[in-house]
Amino acid sequence: MKRIRVGLLGFGTVGAGVFHALRSQEEIILRRTGAVFDIRSILVQNAAKERPAEVKPLITTDFRRVLKEEIQVVVEAIGGIEPARTYVEQAIEAGCHIVTANKELVAKHGVELERMARRNGVHFFYEASVGGGIPVLGTLIHFLKSNRIHRVSGILNGTTNYILTRMAEEAAPFEQVLEEARQKGYAEADPSADVDGFDAVYKLVILGRLAFEADISVSDVQREGIRDVTAVELAMARRLGYTVKLLAVGEQYGENGPISLGVEPALLPLPHPLASVNGVYNAIHLEGDMVQDVTLVGQGAGEQPTSSAVVEDLCNLSLLPSPMRSLKTEPLILPAAETGGRRFVCLETREHGVPEAKTLKSRLESIGLSVEETTVSPEGGAAFILRRWDPSYPSVLVAELGLDLARISVRRVFGTEAAAKNRSPEVGTAV
């Protein structure tokens, strides 16, 4: 039996979850890994706060005291950049392995922290930073080694997925469902990190680095949140056979080719493996040249799934190697194209003056647009899918249709055969 001395930074949802998990799973971990993880010290901000009796003697507010306990692994569960970053750096320099659930830290400073860890002969593991309990980073690192990954797409944020799912189910507006999500504890008091897409961006950066072996940074990802998604467009998309998700997509065009990365509300055809992922679930769709496609679905947040990922990393410190991948330092980042590609257009009218679907379709075609599907709603409003998009179209639509519009939404349509066919042939077999 190996006894491994652990320092725990933070005792919030994840920190407390890890503490409890290492106790409840102690026997099974010992049996399967030969190790016992012994938390020697817990760093908190507020020492005065009431804690369980077994936690109290371990509490400290001084990081230096954590390192004095001859810690072998530091579990960082503070979140955010500072002081987490400084502590992690000091712990690496003191020769500790790091296990973290901190997506912002890994997205913004993961590359240098990983390099620092390698120099110091320690591991820097962060499975819990993406997709909670879903072992997607491990899958990319260990089980898709021989695959060239050409696309990673995911529903990486449970809060926004819950909100979009409920908006569609209840035909309710964003603000109302956001309030409901807050009351249920699915959204923070300040929901910006989730609803404006920052959280999904961090996770896509981490996934993209492993998938494309490139030093991707947060500013490389185009970002659009869900604040302006309406219940009307969700309903119209559904009538056309699509669902709207906050999708994080990274694509590489050809081996070592340019990469494009974006987080935005986009349409998925209902049979797509990500389309049926509802509520607080997360999912990641990985496309590789040999494996074709693999989708992983699970609980992307919550105390138990996230602690599960942290504890699995702890178990694997002595068992799995660090990945042997070197990152291409200045990858060519292509912004998502403004022009071309399929788009869903939803027109919300002030008055009930929308023509029938067939009439609308022929009017759109008469002004030179290539229309795939059209629907109009009895409550007013129309939606259609265009085969090609040009940024000049909104003004064309306003001028030509002569409708009293309250709103035009334009969303990318994802996961189509056309998209697969447009992929560079070098990337591998089309799915």
**Binding stretches for a second copy (CB under 8 A):** 21, 24-25, 28-29, 32-34, 127, 133-135, 138-139, 142-148, 271, 273, 275-276, 278, 281, 288-299, 302, 304-305, 307-309, 311-312, 314-316, 319-321, 323-325, 429
**Would you say 235 or 315 has its CB closer to a second copy?**
315
- Nearest approach in angstroms of CB 35 to a second copy is 10
- Nearest approach in angstroms of CB 396 to a second copy is 38
Element (H, E) at 46: none
In the residue annotation, 203 being an active-site residue is answered as yes
- Determine phi and psi for 65, rounding to 5 degrees: -70, -30
Q: Of 203, 245, 361, 421, which residue is the catalytic one?
A: 203
Task: Give CA–CA dist 185/187, Å, rounded.
Answer: 6
- Determine phi and psi for 9, rounding to 5 degrees: -100, 115
- Nearest approach in angstroms of CB 101 to a second copy is 14
| Residue pointed to by tokens 């109290």 | 56
- Nearest approach in angstroms of CB 217 to a second copy is 23
- Nearest approach in angstroms of CB 322 to a second copy is 11
CA 183 to centroid of chain Cα atoms? 23
**Would you say 314 or 347 has its CB closer to a second copy?**
314
**Would you say 208 or 225 has its CB closer to a second copy?**
208
**Would you say 140 or 229 has its CB closer to a second copy?**
140
CA neighbor of 22 nearest in space, from 66, 61, 64, 54: 54
**Would you say 218 or 430 has its CB closer to a second copy?**
430
CA dist 430 → 151, 258, 291, 379 (Å): 11, 18, 11, 40
Q: In what order do the strands lie in the sheet with 382-386?
A: 371-376, 382-386, 343-349, 405-412
CA 220 to centroid of chain Cα atoms? 15
The contacts of residue 295 (CB under 8 Å, 6+ apart) are 273, 274, 283, 284, 285, 286
Task: Give CA–CA dist 330/56, Å, rounded.
Answer: 47
Task: Give CA–CA dist 121/96, Å, rounded.
Answer: 9
Type of residue numbered 226? I
**Would you say 117 or 283 has its CB closer to a second copy?**
283
Cβ atoms of 239 and 352 closer than 8 Å:
no
Task: Give CA–CA dist 30/40, Å, rounded.
Answer: 18
- Nearest approach in angstroms of CB 22 to a second copy is 9
Q: Within 13 Å of residue 110, how many CA atoms lie on the same side as its CB?
A: 30
**Would you say 29 or 229 has its CB closer to a second copy?**
29
CB-CB neighbours of 379 under 10 Å: 12
- Nearest approach in angstroms of CB 14 to a second copy is 13
Task: Give CA–CA dist 382/31, Å, rounded.
Answer: 61
Q: Which residues are catalytic?
A: 203
